[in-house]
Amino acid sequence: MIGPLIRTDIVDVYVFRRAARDVQWLQLHRCKGPIADTWQPVMGHVEDNETAVQAALRELSEEPSYAPDRGLIAMWQLELVNTYFLAQRDCIMMSPCFAAEVVIDVEPVLDDAHDAARWVKQDNVDHAFMWPGQRSAIRHIARDILPADSSSAEHLRISLDQYA
């Protein structure tokens, strides 16, 4: 094979909640693995015989413990794939992105790969999220999912009933 490997087995899930006058974005502090000691959105690998949507829902359940019966209100696919290069693996990563809205009064319960969680206000996103692809995904959600008059939000919404 010539050139870098292309992998599509990671999903990114941008969890948000609507506060009184602001939108807040969840970040989890990784304490293990290759991105230890960084703040990240919910991320994870797609497992065998699993779709990207199923992986996103599983990661939401495993990492911050959100599910339809525990704080998850809605989920959307994004018209965005986070693409980045990992030099140490000579690999181009392509991660399907999702948005997940949770209720304001249910806090995350972390798995053992994370040791802290924080909510970032919309106006602090550019400072708090270190990767351009993550900031771009949040801008996409703020523009195309969050507005009440969004023409695309309902078309991008994922029916959680079919994954129950």
Check residue 35 and give its pLDDT: 81
pLDDT digits (tens, 9 = 90+) for 75-86: 999 999 999 998
Q: How many domains does the chain have?
A: 1
Output 96 or 36, whichever has higher pLDDT: 96
Are 116 and 108 in contact by the 8 Å Cβ rule? The answer is no
What's the rounded Cα separation, in Å, for the pair 89 and 17? 35
Strands 23-30 and 39-40: antiparallel
pLDDT at 164 over 80: no
Q: Which residue has the tokens 């010539």?
A: 2
Q: Across residues 86-93, what is the average pLDDT?
A: 91
Check residue 27 and give its pLDDT: 98
Strands 91-102 and 5-7: parallel
β-bridge partners, 116: 29
DSSP string, 8-20: --EEEEEEEEE-S
Q: Across residues 160-164, what is the average pLDDT?
A: 82
Token code pair at residue 25? 């974005």
CATH number of the domain encompassing residue 90: 3.90.79.10
First to last CA, the chain: 40
Residue in 70, 38, 69, 41 with CA at minimum distance from that of residue 56 = 41
Check residue 15 and give its pLDDT: 98
Q: How many residues can be counted in the chain?
A: 164
CA atoms within 13 Å, Cβ hemisphere of 52: 19
Are 131 and 12 in contact by the 8 Å Cβ rule? The answer is no
Share of the chain above pLDDT 90, in %: 88
The continuous run of DSSP H or E covering 142 comes out as: helix 132-144
Q: Considering the chain, what is the average pLDDT of its residues?
A: 94
Q: Across residues 108-129, what is the average pLDDT?
A: 95
Check residue 1 and give its pLDDT: 66
Residue in 76, 138, 127 with CA at minimum distance from that of residue 102 = 76
The boundaries of the domain holding residue 111 are 5-163
pLDDT digits (tens, 9 = 90+) for 56-77: 999 999 999 999 999 999 999 9
pLDDT digits (tens, 9 = 90+) for 103-115: 999 999 999 999 9
- 23 Cα distance to chain centroid: 15
